[in-house]
Structure 1
Amino acid sequence: MTDYDVLRVFCGPRGGYGNELGVVREGSVLPEREERQAFAAKLGFSETVFVDDPERGVIDIYTPGVRLPFAGYPCVGAAWLLDVPELVTPAGVVGARQDGEFCWIEARAEWAPPRTLKQYPTAAEVDALPVPPPGEWIYAWAWEDESAGRIRARGFPGRGDGIDEDEATGAAAILLTEQLGRALNITQGAGSQLLTAPQPGGWVELGGRVYLER
């Protein structure tokens, strides 16, 4: 069995929740895309990262079904684990920094995979949503406190690959931040926390807490 770490990314203030991420630190043990895709499917996490160069931060990201040029929570988790100033992804170079209990990355919204951002009138309506049938990737959200930038969100990948709901979705948070043009404090899923802030030149910062599960 290939060795891998399991992180929880975008944990809540008390360390709970977060989205589980698989990280294969020695990507060379599975060099082919087909091998990596099969291993990501076997692990069954929303995303799995393969590290191809830990010093330069070169990574490769897979869902159980597809390879992604960029994804938010895998980049935050990998940046925390590798403790590097940047990550190299197929989409581009992702800036990274540690700030106390938070790990931050800086990326561009156009790197994010397509998401349907669907606003609801209240957080209670978002909480009550059933899992939709497979189809488009839906990021359902509502203001909890608009003046404070606090948002309630849930993510439904719609892929039919066994991931009915995504506990914390960094790429969608980046897209929503670009759309709204302001810093956000997002509670997603059962209680994960994502922080964002728009930056000059079309960049968006995305931050959260990361813990090593095993």
Structure 2
Amino acid sequence: MAIEVTVLRVFSDAHGNFGNPLGVVDASKVEPADRQQLATQLGYSETIFVDLPAAGSTTAHATIYTPSLEIPFAGHPTVGASWWLREAGTPLNTLQVPAGIVQVSYQGDLTSISARSEWAPEFAIHDLDSLDALAGADPADFSDDIAHYLWTWADPTAGALRARMFAANLGVPEDEATGSAAIRITDYLSRDLTITQGKGSLIQTTWSPEGWVRVAGHVVNDGVRQVD
């Protein structure tokens, strides 16, 4: 029987352009042992499997897979799944993933999650000196034993930066928008940020000295994909 996969683009710009594709699946439809195979087949940077909340509940559980492995936390799947559940009539306050309890909130057409930077997968941070250097970076020049986050300021006064993410170690040669990396760079710089990543995806972050970072973004629904 075919499995329904809702395909979202998370962290689009305000006009619905760009964003990182995400597969969202009702976890009851796929056995845990089969989830990695489906995520690999789909090929998105992440696929999230959500245990649908009971009627009246404001919390849900989920697991997250890249094309090559399960990970305890990621930003764009948790934002996307939280948006998807609100659209289905079950908005969340919290989302439980293996790393911990993610706080969820909604502000107009933005969906936000709050998480701790240590939940994010490890990656190397590369501070580049210009937008040209960032644009000219070649993923082939970076090792595949760890993910690489490249960034440079677009407007430091406004907290605006440009970024790219190479994550061959997770099965993702280049990630269009990376919420977990946005959390880490926000904690690294200890300030609120507006991050433009990849071709033009937009991530907004809010830093807290208590160790939490809020990540907010727009989500676009690209429909349902049937997978045998």
The normalised TM-score by structure 2 is 0.89
What is aligned with 2:98?
90
> How many Å separate the matches in 2 of 1:127 and 1:14?
23
Contact persistence 2:147–2:170 (CA under 8 A): no
Q: What residue ranges of structure 2 are gaps of 5+ in the alignment?
A: 87-91, 224-228
Identity %: 42
1: CA distance, partners of 2:43 / 2:7: 12
Per-residue displacement from partner, 1:147-187 (whole Å, max 9, x unpaired)? Answer: 100000000002273x3100000000100000100000000
CA contact (8 A) 2:6 2:24 kept: yes
- What's the counterpart of residue 23 of structure 1? 24
Aligned residues: CA RMSD: 1.2
Are residues 1:77 and 2:80 paired?
Answer: yes
Is the strand fraction higher in 1 or 2? Answer: 2
Q: Partner of 1:120 in structure 2?
A: 128
Match of 2:61 in 1: 58
Pair 1:136-2:139 in alignment: no
Q: Deviations over 1:50-77 (max 9, x none)?
A: 0123343211100011111110110000
Residue in structure 2 matched with residue 49 of structure 1 by the alignment: 48
Deviations 1:55-113 (A, max 9, x none): 43211100011111110110000111112111011111101111112111000001111
Give the Å deviation of 1:31.
2.2
Hey, what's the Cα distance between the residues in 2 that align with 1:200 and 1:139?
A: 22
Q: Which deviates the most, 129-138 or 37-46?
A: 129-138
Number of positions where the alignment pairs a residue of Structure 1 with one of Structure 2: 211
Q: Deviations over 1:119-155 (max 9, x none)?
A: 1001221011111353320000000110100000000
Who is 2:168 aligned against? 158
Equivalent residues of 1:57, 1:82 under 8 A apart:
no
- Give the aligned partner of residue 89 of structure 2: none
SS at match of 1:65: coil
| Equivalent position of 2:15 in the other structure | 14
Instruction: Output the CA distance in 1 between the equivalents of 2:34 and 2:128.
Output: 40
Unpaired runs of at least 5, structure 1: none
| TM-score of the aligned structures, taking structure 1 as reference length | 0.95
Question: SS state of the match for residue 161, structure 2?
Answer: strand
